[in-house]
Structure formats: structure tokens, C-alpha cells
């Protein structure tokens, strides 16, 4: 069967009410609920949905049946009628039972943050690999919730949240979906094996890899474009990039490294998505240097930086050599710039300043060479410039990986 993200086409006329439940767990997580709501509104906008209202509710723990509680559900119902909303989007993950109850009570489509993100990804996926990954994430998310989706999905007719497996899929039994999940995993393993071969060939040829990572909308694709004149898509929308793109980057010494742009991260990134995107994100694990791009102009930059660090550790790339790139400083008030971390592992730039891009490239070279300088010298070492490179062996690991010869 061909991979399929079940794109039923977004209904541009959709009107959504955003709902957030602030629990004790949310409060303790360090996330700012108001900012998370702004982000949800941005996600809705990216999905082509008009936001017509917002509601917040405080509770120590979610209500098992109604999520926000029965009373609040009534308030939401009144607001839906007032604003003629067609959808309610919840900022937290809902269980199948909660979706079913809310759907019956509110009589609109019920979507949660995870579904919205999966929907955006479904709209963005272009390569076979990307499509496989999104379908796997969609099915893994839906399988345990199938019973709660009946009304929602039979409503179909397009719109957000309906890009998931559609009505015909629902009519098929769970066993069929499990079978499809197994098949998708098998196909993805094939893709991973292929990528692995590719990476091994690159390593053997001594190609040094630098990966751009960071929160969505931080400016990763813009930096790739500015640094390499690559014709990549950058947009003021969340998740503009889905598939990794690599371009050669020339360093001041004349050496070339491979610079790779990757999918952006976001807080509460669906776990099914992280799992499905492991194949793509393995590029990050293999990189000789990570450029962690942070939108310095965002009031949430520290939180965003922490979220990216968390996802990187989850992927096993927590200890990778990295350079913190504070981007968009042209949008930052001078007082805020002073608060940004400095030192050898951080840099402040505007992607639109040629001078800053020169500094960034120099710093990338320094970092790659700098790691070499930390190595003790094995026998038969030759001295090159200010770096000492073991003869014909890897600069960083000494195992032939990612050699960076000046």
C-alpha cells in the first residue's frame, strides 16, 4: 500500500475556540499557559483555522470524563453558540472518552494540540519518508482513541483533525490498523538502513556534518539559506520545514562542511511524532557540531531553549558539541541582548546581517578546530595551523569519523 497521510483538505472556513486546562502538573512543568495558548493560536493559524475565542480553566487534575469539568463544558457550549464556532481545540492531550463526551455535549469537532500538530505535519509532508513518518504518527495516536473518534470522523467533510485516517479507515478494524503500523515501521526501517549507508559513505569520505537544530520558527532555514545560498523554504509559520535539507558550506579556510536543516521542535511535541521522526533526526545524532538556533526576540526564549535541550537528550544527542546561536537580534531591544548568554559556546546574530554570518562561519570553524585542540596528541601527529591533527584519522573522535582537516 502506498503511504498516505489522508489529507482530506483543510476547510478554510473553520472557526475554532481554544481551550486550555491549567493543572498542577502544567504549573509545575515551567510552561507558561498563556504563552502556550498563543502558540496554539499560531498552530491553528498555520493550519488555516480562524480563532474566535479562548477559554482557560484551573483544576488540580483533569476531569476523567469531561477534561475541564462538566460546568466548564457548559460555559464552552455557550461560547461556541455565541461565536458560531465549528471546532474546539484543546491545548492538552485528550483521552478517547473525553473526546466522545465533549463531542456529544458540544456538538462540534473536538481536537487536541497533538492532533493539530499532526495535521500540520500531514499538510507539509512531501517526501516519501516524511509521509511514512507522519502516517505512522497519526495511526499510533489514533489507535488507542478510535472509539472516541466516531462522530468526529464521520462528520468528515474536511478541516483540521480530519487529515487522520478517514471514515473508510475507521470502518476497518483495529487489527488492520495495527497491521498497517507494522508495515510502516518495516518501510521506515528500510529508509533508516538506506540513510545509514549514506551516512557511513559520507563519514568514510571524511565529510564533516553540522546540523541546525532548534525551536520551530527560530530561523534555521533562513540561516541555511543565508550561509549557503540554498533555495530552501523559510516562512513565518510553525513547522515550515519537515524534511532535512543539506548543503555544502565553505569555511574561511576553504574547507567544506555539510550543513543540514532539520524539523523544528515545540513544547509538548507529540511523543508519537518524535518516535516516528527518529529516522530523520538521526542526522542530528551523527553531526560533528550542532548549531542550536534560538529566537532571541521571543519572550519565551529560555523555555524554548530548554525544550530543545530536552528533546535532544531524548534523542541521545544531549552531549553533542554545540554552539548556541541567538538569532533575530535585530528584533531584540538592546537591554535584552545584554542578557543573552555569551562565551565561547554562544553567539548573537541576525540572519540578515552579512557581518554576523561571517562571524558565524568563523565560529563554526573555530568550534570544529577547537574540539581538536582538546585532544591529547597521539604518535605521528602533524601540526596544522593552531590545530593538531592526528594523521589521516578523525579530528574529533579518532576513529575515522567526521575528520576535519584544516
Site residues (vs Mg ion, CB under 5 A): 220-221, 240-241
Within 225-284, which residues bind ligand GTP (CB under 6 A)? 234-236, 238-241, 264
Q: How far apart are CA 356 and CA 310, in angstroms?
A: 28
109: closest CA among 53, 167, 158, 40?
158
Q: Judged by CB, which is closer to Mg ion: 261, or 288?
A: 261
62 binds, among ligand GTP, Mg ion, none (CB under 5 to 8 A by kind): none
Instruction: Return d(Cα 39, Cα 126) in angstroms, integer.
Output: 24
Task: Read off the C-alpha cell for 333.
Answer: 531591544
By C-beta, is 135 or 261 nearer to ligand GTP? 261
For the CB of residue 224, give the shortest distance to Mg ion in the complex, in Å.
Answer: 8
Provide, rounded to whole angstroms, the least separation between the CB of residue 240 and ligand GTP.
Answer: 4
CA 310 from centroid of its chain's CA atoms: 12
When the beta carbons of 31 and 224 are compared against ligand GTP, the nearer one is 224
396 binds, among ligand GTP, Mg ion, none (CB under 5 to 8 A by kind): none
Give 143-159 as a DSSP string: GGGGGGGHHHHHH-SSS
Start-to-end C-alpha separation, the chain: 49
Q: What is the CA radius of gyration of the chain?
A: 23
What is the nearest approach in angstroms of ligand GTP to the Cβ of residue 120?
10
242 close to 126: Cβ distance less than 8 angstroms: yes
236 binds, among Mg ion, ligand GTP, none (CB under 5 to 8 A by kind): ligand GTP
Distance CA 376, CA 368 (A): 16
- The CA dihedral of 262, 300, 123, 138, to the nearest 10 degrees, is 90
Binding of residue 328 to ligand GTP (CB under 6 A): yes
Residue by residue, DSSP assigns 198-230 as HHHHHHHTT--EEEEEEBTTSSHHHHHHHHH--
Contacting ligand GTP (CB under 6 A), which of 47, 287, 307, 351? 351
User: Which of 380, 345, 379 shows the shortest CA–CA distance to 363?
Assistant: 345
C-beta of residue 393 within 8 angstroms of C-beta of residue 386: no
Sole binder of ligand GTP in the list 218, 257, 258, 312 (CB under 6 A): 218
Size of the site for ligand GTP (CB under 6 A): 23
161 versus 214: smaller Cβ distance to ligand GTP: 214
Under the binding rule (CB under 6 A), the answer on residue 358 touching ligand GTP is no
Give the contacts of 160 (CB within 8 A, at least 6 positions apart).
Answer: 10, 11, 14, 16, 44, 47, 48, 49, 87, 89, 109, 111, 115, 116, 119
Least Å from the CB of residue 128 to ligand GTP? 20
Closer Cβ to ligand GTP, 86 or 221, answer by number: 221
Q: How far is the CB of 45 from ligand GTP (least distance, A)?
A: 13
Q: x/- contact string, 186-215, with ligand GTP (CB under 6 A)? A: ----------------------------x-
Tell me how far, at minimum, the Cβ of 325 lies from ligand GTP, in Å: 10
Q: How far is the CB of 232 from ligand GTP (least distance, A)?
A: 8
Strand-pair partners of 322:
290
Contacting positions for ligand GTP (CB under 6 A): 214, 216-222, 234-236, 238-241, 264, 327-328, 330-331, 350-352
Amino acid at each position: 500500500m502506498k503511504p498516505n497521510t489522508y489529507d482530506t483538505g483543510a476547510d478554510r472556513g473553520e472557526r475554532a475556540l481554544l481551550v486550555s486546562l491549567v493543572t498542577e502538573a502544567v504549573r509545575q512543568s515551567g510552561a507558561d499557559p498563556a504563552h502556550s495558548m498563543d502558540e496554539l493560536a499560531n498552530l491553528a493559524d498555520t493550519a488555516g483555522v480562524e480563532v474566535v475565542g479562548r477559554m482557560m480553566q484551573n483544576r488540580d487534575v483533569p476531569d476523567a470524563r469531561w477534561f475541564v469539568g462538566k460546568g466548564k463544558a457548559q460555559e464552552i457550549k455557550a461560547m461556541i453558540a455565541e461565536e458560531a464556532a465549528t471546532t474546539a481545540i484543546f491545548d492538552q492531550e485528550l483521552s478517547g472518552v473525553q473526546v466522545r463526551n465533549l463531542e456529544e455535549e458540544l456538538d462540534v469537532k473536538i481536537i487536541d494540540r497533538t492532533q493539530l500538530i499532526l495535521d500540520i505535519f500531514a499538510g507539509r509532508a512531501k517526501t516519501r519518508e516524511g509521509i511514512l513518518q507522519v502516517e505512522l504518527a497519526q495511526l499510533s495516536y489514533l489507535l488507542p482513541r478510535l472509539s472516541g473518534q466516531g462522530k468526529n470522523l464521520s462528520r468528515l467533510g474536511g478541516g483540521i483533525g480530519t487529515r487522520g485516517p478517514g471514515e473508510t479507515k475507521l470502518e476497518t478494524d483495529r487489527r488492520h490498523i495495527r497491521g498497517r503500523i507494522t508495515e510502516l515501521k518495516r518501510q521506515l526501517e528500510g529508509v533508516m538502513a538506506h540513510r545509514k549507508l549514506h551516512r557511513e559513505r559520507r563519514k568514510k569520505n571524511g565529510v564533516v556534518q553540522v546540523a541546525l537544530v532548534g525551536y520551530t520558527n527560530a530561523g534555521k532555514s533562513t540561516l541555511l539559506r543565508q550561509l549557503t545560498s540554498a533555495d530552501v523554504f523559510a516562512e513565518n509559520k510553525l513547522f515550515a520545514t519537515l524534511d532535512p535539507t543539506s548543503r555544502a558550506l565553505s569555511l574561511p579556510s576553504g574547507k567544506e562542511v555539510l550543513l543540514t536543516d532539520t524539523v523544528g521542535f515545540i513544547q509538548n511535541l507529540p511523543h508519537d511524532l518524535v518516535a516516528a521522526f527518529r529516522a530523520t533526526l538521526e542526522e542530528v545524532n551523527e553531526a560533528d557540531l550542532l548549531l542550536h538556533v534560538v529566537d532571541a526576540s521571543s519572550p519565551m526564549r529560555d523555555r524554548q531553549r530548554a525544550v530543545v535541550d530536552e528533546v535532544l537528550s531524548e534523542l541521545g544527542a544531549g552531549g553533542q558539541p554545540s554552539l548556541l546561536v541567538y538569532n533575530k537580534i535585530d528584533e531584540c531591544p538592546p537591554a535584552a541582548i545584554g542578557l543573552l548568554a555569551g562565551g565561547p559556546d554562544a553567539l548573537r546574530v541576525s540572519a540578515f546581517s552579512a557581518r554576523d554570518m561571517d562571524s558565524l562561519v568563523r565560529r563554526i570553524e573555530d568550534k570544529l578546530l577547537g574540539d581538536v585542540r582538546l585532544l591529547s596528541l597521539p604518535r605521528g601527529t602533524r601540526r596544522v595551523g593552531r590545530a593538531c591533527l592526528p594523521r589521516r584519522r578523525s579530528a574529533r573522535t579518532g576513529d575515522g569519523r567526521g575528520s576535519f582537516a584544516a
